[in-house]
Structure 1
Amino acid sequence: MKNISFYIIGLLFLFLPQFIHAQTTDTDVNSFLDKAEKELYTNPQQAAYYATKARAMATSSSQQSQALYIYAQAEKLLGDFDGCIQALYEADALVSKNENDLKGHIYNLMSVGYCNLGDYTKAINLSDKAISLFKTENDSLNLALCYNNRGIIHTYINEFQQAERFLKQALAINRSSKNLKSIASNLNNLCLFEGNIEEQLEWINEAIIINKHLNATWSLGENYNNLGKLYYYAHKYPQAIAALEKAYQLALNIGAKGVICDNYEYSALVYSAIGDYRTAYEKQTSLYALSKEIQSENKLRTVEQRIAQEKLLAQQQKEELQQQEYKIRLLRRNIVTILTVAALVAIIGFLLHQRFKRKKKIQLLNAQYRIEQSEHEIAKLKMQKQKAELENVQHALETSKQETTNFAVFLQSRNELLDKIQEQVRQGYRMEKQELIPHLKKINAFISQYQATNKNNSMTLQTIDEKMKEFLAHLTERHPNLTQGEKHLASLLRVNLSTKEIAMLTGNTPKTINMNRYRLRKALGLSSEEDLIAYIQSI
């Protein structure tokens, strides 16, 4: 069975190239457009080439406008803003009325182009059009792209608060959709102006990590430029120079002259700040020369584009003729091979489907087993937790019972003391005067002896007071206006002491204790039907 499967797969790969050569022109155009988009931030020059080739091969206005839009993006990255604007106007003329998505992208990129050319009013108007279109389509991702470019425009006119607001709106949308490429762009643009340096350093480093992952060379060059500028703001000049050198190498590798111009400008600022005026002057001179070169190239850009497009069209016509001849030769073989491969694909599909079903079934059984094991462990842990809680409650209950017993013994001993003293006083009533003084001394000695043995009882009271601290804290939180006497009475009632026992303990009469209980009930806001002790014990 395995040998048959390998044989079938071998036949499939043998005939697969023939079907690749049989693709339509529309598929070829889409392929070039995809290549251009992938190379856009890695190699803008190559992206411009692919976009030009796609436009030459395109048979519909929709494909032509899409190719022009990608070409305009590449020209912007290469620093040719005039060429970018021209391509966008051509794309706008070709795009149909119902293609709001592409039209919004065109207006959005136009706004950045006009911003770089210094026409900020036109840039803002175009940005508003793009935002309106994407709001109508309820397209949050492209709306975030508009907010990003709008933030750049406000940065150019030194409206940094407005810029930060738009950029953070874009960042929030892109983070929610996990759009890494756009997140990196937002983070980079939030570092175009001086703000909270520590926060901006975190942003730019996050952008660098993302663009390294995406292999976006142009974006990395811009990131390191902005990192160098942030270090310049923070007066960390060695780090600024190191970052700017990285940016220069990246921009030089892909011919991003706009990024190199920014690099010269920031480097001149850093070298001037550290007192190396010679190097700063050299950077400024290089900036001037490159800016002049870009301006000169822009004048020739239209002619070069027309010549390149004519050459590409001629080459494309030649390639299409060769492809047609080749397709005719392959047609006879394709008729037979299509039927053969279709049957083979059906067999392979059936086998793969059966294998996939078995694999999924095994995975499902394994998952169910793991779930059952997890549930068993959870139940076991719950039982252990409940057992520990029960033991803690039992321990607390035993402790409480012991303390209550100790307190009862303490009350009983005090009552016995008072009874004995009372009995001895009564005996003194019947004694003669000369017998009374020795009798009083005997009573005094008896009291002193009790006081000496009263330390354990004091410890019992102290323990009860400590246990009452948490209760008193909750009581004070609910009823902050209670007096100390009322709090003390509540503590005694909480341990189920009777009025008589409280009177003996505090040295007051039972009547006084009843009056105090009435005042406490009133202070707690309880009606006569409510149980005072039950309420206190619930706190």
Structure 2
Amino acid sequence: MTPILKLSEYHAFRCISLTILMLVVNSQRLAAENDAATLLQRAVTHLYADPKEASALANRALKLCDMSKPDSVCREASILYANAEQLLGNFDLSIKTLFDAEQMTDSTDLHTFARIFVLQGRVFSKLGDYARANKLNDRATAIFKSLGDSAWVAKCYTERGVTLLNTDEFILAEHFFRKSLDISRKLKNLEAIARNLNNMCLYPGDSDEKLKIIEEAITINKHLDSKWALGENYNNKGKQLCYANKPREALAALEIANRYIDEIGARELLCDNYEYTAMANAAAGNFKAAYENMEKMTVLVSELQRHNSQRNTDLDITRKRFENQKLAAEKQEKDYEIRILHRNLWILIGGVMMIAVCCLFYYLWYKHKKNLELIQANQDLHLAEKEVDSLKMRQQQLELENTQNLLSESRQELTGFAAFLKSRNEMMEKIRDMLKEGYKLPHDEMVPHLKKISAFISSYASHDDTSKTLLLKAEELNKDFMNNLLQKHPNLTKGERNLALLIRGGMSTKEISMLLGLETKTINMNRYRLRKALGIPQDADLHDYLTSL
């Protein structure tokens, strides 16, 4: 039991130790963050009073920050450090630090981006890249105007004026300085007022007015305890006194500037101080001192140039890094365009699919419509066929009725013809009986008996209308034939027309002679006359010709 208890106590002690260690680490981290923020506040107060001290404090604050997860303190420390190094003349380090600060800035924080652009433009202006300086200044000005930050708009005008001074565009530079000064006076921003007043004394003009301006700037900067600005103010005062041909007063002002410069270690201001001191000594006739100051300025400029040769290499690296960042941004933009293209492609595919579905539905609807129309057409066709069948049946019925009528008429004709034949046969039997009776009569009674037979035949012939009835019936049934015959042969007699009708009906000469009660020879003679009247040659068939009519 004792070892188990000892093991449990060991685990409990270990947990308590780890907890205490974590609390200590977190407290140290919080303390470090608090120290970084404190150092940053101190650096702000020393920026223009003592840029060297401000740079050291900002650098310490950066070392305390967690650069793997940079926050607002890291970003502000980087910006302040870059600003301080720029005031000290370390432009390459300033540019590098500003690019680092840009990387730490969130894409939505436009105000911070614009501040960085202002500082980058200032450094590039000092390095002689005025085109890039103006471009960055324009971007910053546009952002501050959109955000409504008048104070920073005034600073942008100031930086633009300084860039114009470097290209000797004094009138346009003063225009921007005065615009910035007007805004700063409205805002009662003493630091900005003093900076603009100082900048207005960087170039020649009305020396009395500019000396009053620079005195106002000195008064403000003394109130603000801004040593770097005071060094620049006294430098510019000495320069304006040289323009006013007051060399002794100029040398006194430049001596004061030199004390401030030595205190803060601003070599750029020291270079200007040597130049203006040489101008004052030359104006005072002390050419030896003027030469010495020019020599000091030349040595310092050479030293700065040697440093700048190394810095240019670092600057090239920084620019390459900037180009890589630019390429990365372009890649992100292209990726975004590709995503947009993919989205548009999916929209297009969806649109095409919708159109295809609509076309499919339209095709199915159209096919269904055509099927309905086909069914309706089939129904109509079926009804039409039924109607045609009905009409055919009606036609067949009519034909049947017509056939029956023709058959009935034919029967009537046959019946009439049969009655005619019966009557003829009866007449012939009667004549035969009368002839038999005549054989038995004596010779003297024969002549009267023959006259009696002749009178009987004539009486029968005059009272027999059967043949006439048959001819009239035949004419009625063959009206079309009779009309065509009369139209083609209008000079035919009544007998010739009746003979033509009987021949067309297929009756023989003997049948015609029996029907008309004429001799066969007479019928043959009439046939000859009819052929001649019709103009038919002897070798042509009379029946075929009449049938063709």
Letter in 1 for 2:45: K
Letter in 2 for 1:44: P
Provide the aligned C-alpha RMSD in A. Answer: 2.2
CA distance in 2, matches of 1:53, 1:299: 28
CA distance in 1, matches of 2:310, 2:170: 36
The CA deviation at 1:95 is 1.3
Deviation per residue, 1:413-462 (Å, 9 max, x gap): xxxxxxxxxxxxxxxxxxxxxxxxxxxxxxxxxxxxxxxxxxxxxxxxxx
Partner residue, 2:134: 124
Q: Decide which of 148, 152, 162 is 2:158's aligned counterpart.
A: 148
Letter in 1 for 2:173: A
Q: Decide which of 32, 35, 48 is 1:28's aligned counterpart.
A: 35
CA distance in 1, matches of 2:192, 2:36: 26
Q: Decide which of 134, 138, 146 is 2:148's aligned counterpart.
A: 138
Partner residue, 2:276: 266
For structure 2, the 5+ residue unaligned runs are: 1-26, 315-549
The CA deviation at 1:271 is 1.5
Partner residue, 1:195: 205
CA distance in 2, matches of 1:100, 1:63: 17
Partner residue, 2:444: none
The CA deviation at 1:23 is 5.8
**Stretch of structure 1 that moved more, 194-203 or 155-164:** 194-203
Structure 2 counterpart SS, 1:228: helix
Q: Decide which of 172, 197, 211 is 2:182's aligned counterpart.
A: 172
Letter in 2 for 1:45: K
Partner residue, 1:230: 240
Partner residue, 2:50: 43
Q: Does structure 1 residue 54 correspond to structure 2 residue 61?
A: yes
The CA deviation at 1:298 is 5.0
CA distance in 2, matches of 1:22, 1:287: 47
**Stretch of structure 1 that moved more, 31-40 or 50-59:** 50-59
The CA deviation at 1:190 is 0.8
Letter in 2 for 1:38: T
Letter in 1 for 2:244: A
Structure 1 counterpart SS, 2:107: coil
Partner residue, 1:71: 81
Partner residue, 1:214: 224
Q: Decide which of 245, 255, 258 is 1:248's aligned counterpart.
A: 258
Letter in 2 for 1:47: A
- Equivalent residues in 2 for 1:221-370 (5 A)? 221-297=231-307
* Contact 2:92 2:312 survives alignment (8 Å): no
User: How many residues are matched?
Assistant: 285
TM-score, with length taken from structure 2: 0.50
CA distance in 2, matches of 1:301, 1:158: 26
CA distance in 1, matches of 2:80, 2:304: 21
Partner residue, 1:91: 101
The CA deviation at 1:27 is 2.6
* Contact 1:75 1:81 survives alignment (8 Å): yes
Letter in 2 for 1:80: N
Partner residue, 1:81: 91
In percent, how many aligned pairs have the same letter? Answer: 39
C-alpha change, 1:191 and 1:276, in structure 2 (3 Å) is: same
C-alpha change, 1:158 and 1:291, in structure 2 (3 Å) is: same
Structure 2 counterpart SS, 1:53: helix
* Contact 1:80 1:294 survives alignment (8 Å): no
CA distance in 2, matches of 1:298, 1:28: 34
Larger of the two Rg values belongs to structure? 2
**Greater RCO between the two (CA within 8 Å, min separation 6)?**
1
TM-score, with length taken from structure 1: 0.51
The CA deviation at 1:202 is 1.2
Structure 1 counterpart SS, 2:210: helix
Partner residue, 1:356: none
* Contact 2:248 2:284 survives alignment (8 Å): no
Q: Decide which of 110, 117, 124 is 1:114's aligned counterpart.
A: 124
CA distance in 1, matches of 2:65, 2:306: 31
For structure 1, the 5+ residue unaligned runs are: 1-19, 305-539
The CA deviation at 1:54 is 1.2
CA distance in 1, matches of 2:30, 2:193: 36
Partner residue, 1:491: none
The CA deviation at 1:258 is 0.8
* Contact 1:83 1:298 survives alignment (8 Å): no
